[in-house]
């Protein structure tokens, strides 16, 4: 008998359908999400990546959550683009610590064409170490996307951040359509996309549903979906926002897994302040990717020892590169946007 597909790939979700998922009893929602997860992944495996800020601070954007915006006084100093040799050494260290993917983030609105050859050199040399590569550099032109693809970049991250209804409350220097355009250029260049958002910025449940609906209704589901929990940074406009209920964060992870069953769902920013119990609920709800290491760009992240101990307690193991590259999974685990978490 043909296999019954319980969680089909759809691009026509309505807001009311997504809100109905959020409203399910908690245990029922987790059951459905876990079932969707098992349909495409081994639930005992979690993909492990390392993220490095290769160019920090000085960004001209006004994203209200971000300590790397030049207009906010957050203690983050602007730096120049790192030398490729330094980046490669960091990648070697990441591989030795157990990472299978190395992600490079730069606090640009968009890179200048003169920056691309240097980034391309980083990509080639990191790939030569046997690591998968990903980058988040801001908005890209079609030519820049093709140049990164030619250098061997596996994945490109460009988050939409929030629901289109709420977007104008958080960001004014770039439109949502700008983000869609970059994602289209990345897809057209033949790279996989990593695209998610941030919750806990003061949005409503309806708007959290709108964020996930927008992601699921893209022409192709993002290969990786980072779910970031806002960690408030003093000096940014969102500092002082009422914190999101932890169970609501788990619900967001679970609904993302149901809407995009073949995508990697990552616990991204905010993990440093999550208890082991909260992270365990997220893994049960279908999260299967984390960042490994003490920093996410400019900001804090659980150290590798804590992650290893948690994996042992939960019986989890790191996903191997070959499993992630399986085209039948279309998996990706690239980066979060710069500066979503608290300043280190």
Residues annotated as part of the active site: 59, 63, 66, 103, 134, 194, 266
Cα–Cα distance, 68 to 19 (Å, whole number): 33
Of 279, 295, 299, which is closest to residue 287 (Cα–Cα)? 279
DSSP 114-159: GGHHHHHHHHHHHHHTT-EEEEE-S---HHHHHHHHHTT--EEE--
Name the packing angle between helices 246-259 and 15-22 (round to 10°): 130
Structure letter (DSSP) for residue 113:
G
Cα dist from 48 to 10, 28, 41, 304, 324, whole Å: 27, 28, 15, 10, 10
Contact 26, 35 (CB under 8 A): no
Structure letter (DSSP) for residue 338:
T
- Which helix (H) or strand (E) covers residue 227, if one does? strand 224-229
End-to-end CA distance of the chain: 55
| CA of residue 338 relative to chain centroid, distance | 10
Residue position matching structure tokens 């959020």: 22
Q: How many CB atoms lie within 10 A of CB 131?
A: 21
Of 99, 52, 45, which is closest to residue 292 (Cα–Cα)? 99
In sequence order, which residues have a C-beta less than 8 Å from that of residue 182 and are 6 or more positions away? 139, 140, 145, 158
Beta-carbon-side half-sphere exposure of residue 118 (alpha carbons within 13 Å):
18
Residue position matching structure tokens 């203690």: 75
């Amino acid at each position: 008998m043909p296999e019954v597909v319980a969680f089909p790939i759809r691009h026509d979700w309505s807001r009311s359908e997504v809100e109905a998922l959020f409203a399910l009893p908690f245990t029922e929602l987790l059951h459905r999400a876990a079932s969707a997860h098992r349909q495409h992944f081994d639930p005992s495996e979690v993909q492990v990546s390392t993220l490095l800020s290769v160019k920090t601070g000085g960004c001209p954007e006004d994203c209200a959550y971000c300590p790397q915006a030049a207009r906010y006084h957050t203690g983050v100093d602007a730096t120049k683009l790192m030398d490729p040799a330094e980046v490669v050494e960091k990648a070697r260290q990441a591989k030795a610590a157990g990472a299978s993917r190395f992600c490079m983030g730069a606090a640009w609105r968009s890179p200048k064409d003169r920056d691309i050859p240097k980034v391309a050199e980083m990509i080639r040399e990191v790939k030569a170490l046997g690591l998968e590569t990903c980058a988040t550099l801001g908005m890209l032109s079609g030519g820049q996307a093709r140049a990164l693809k030619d250098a061997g970049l596996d994945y490109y991250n460009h988050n939409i951040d929030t629901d289109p209804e709420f977007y104008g409350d958080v960001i004014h220097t770039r439109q949502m359509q700008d983000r869609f355009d970059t994602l289209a250029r990345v897809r057209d260049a033949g790279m996989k996309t990593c695209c998610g958002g941030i919750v806990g910025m003061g949005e409503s449940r309806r708007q959290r549903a709108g964020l996930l609906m927008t992601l699921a209704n893209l022409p192709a589901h993002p290969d990786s979906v980072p779910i970031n929990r806002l960690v408030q940074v003093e000096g940014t406009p969102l500092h002082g926002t009422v914190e999101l209920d932890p169970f609501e964060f788990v619900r967001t992870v679970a609904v993302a897994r149901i809407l995009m069953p073949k995508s990697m769902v990552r616990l991204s920013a905010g993990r440093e302040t999550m208890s082991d119990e909260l992270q365990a609920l997220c893994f049960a709800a279908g999260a299967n990717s984390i960042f490994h290491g003490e920093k996410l760009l400019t900001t804090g992240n659980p150290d590798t020892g804590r992650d290893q101990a948690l994996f042992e307690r939960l019986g989890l193991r790191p996903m191997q590169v070959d499993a992630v590259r399986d085209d039948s999974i279309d998996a990706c685990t690239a980066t979060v946007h710069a500066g979503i978490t608290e300043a280190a």
